[in-house]
Amino acid sequence: MAVRPLYIATNNLDSPFIKEDITFKWVKGQSYKQKCLRRESLHEEIVKKYDKTKLLEISTKSDKELGVKLSALKLLLYYCKEIKTVEEIYQKSKVYDNNNHITLFKYKDIEFPNYPIGMYYDYLYMCALYQHNDLREELFNYDYFTDIEFNPNKSKNTQARAAAIFKTLEYNNETRSLLLHMKDFQDYYKATCNKYI
């Protein structure tokens, strides 16, 4: 058995997402097929409680084309005449101290804090999603998000959490004011920093 999180969009700005740990039968192996079977096992448990039509896996192992397109490895962010995936920009932004700890993030001479953990990743992801109207509109049909590639014991960032937050912001017409441009990160930080758990 294994445990992985389900992220739920609340449509409530005071608490933009709920994280619920789901216990499911683990499928061993690292092949694409085995990872897809893991996803199916996770989703089998989720649909016992939630509407399957509102559930979206966001990763390259998704059973839906939208979920694959929304993977941070595929989703493109356009900024300062540069086009890169969210994952590329996130990795490129890391700034380390002498002990190899991330102290902050820096991209195109804009500095972003490393705290709260996960906020910068979520912001990058949502800025990219904001630029893709077609994906944004499709995402609005979903409320429950998973990322089978995400292991909370090894990482703090997941596109599933970012998608849930984005859905809540979009529902409340807050995406434009908070995600209009990457340099406006301070507005997003002020509005959401106390909502990370």
Please give the residue that has the higher pLDDT: either 108 or 65: 65
**Structural domain tally of the chain?**
1
pLDDT-based confidence at 26, cuts 50/70/90? very high
Is omega for the bond preceding 116 within 30 degrees of 0, making it cis? yes
- Say if CB 194 and CB 16 are below 8 A apart: no
Assess contact for 160 and 145: CB atoms under 8 A: yes
Q: How much is the average pLDDT of 65-83?
A: 93
- CA diameter of the chain: 48
pLDDT value of position 113:
87
Give the pLDDT confidence of 166-184 residue by residue, as tens digits: 999 899 888 777 776 566 7
Instruction: Give the pLDDT of residue 14.
Output: 87
Mean pLDDT of 13-26: 94
Phi, psi of 49 (to 5 degrees): -120, -30
Give SS3 for 111: strand
Q: Which domain holds residue 166?
A: 2-195
Per-residue DSSP letter, 155: -
For the residues 151-164, what does the mean pLDDT come to?
A: 94
Q: What is the pTM of this model?
A: 0.91
- Put residue 118 in one of left, alpha, beta given phi > 0 → left and psi -120 to 50 → alpha: left
At residue 194, the pLDDT reads 67
For the stretch 107-148, pLDDT in tens is: 888 888 888 888 899 989 998 999 999 999 999 999 999 999
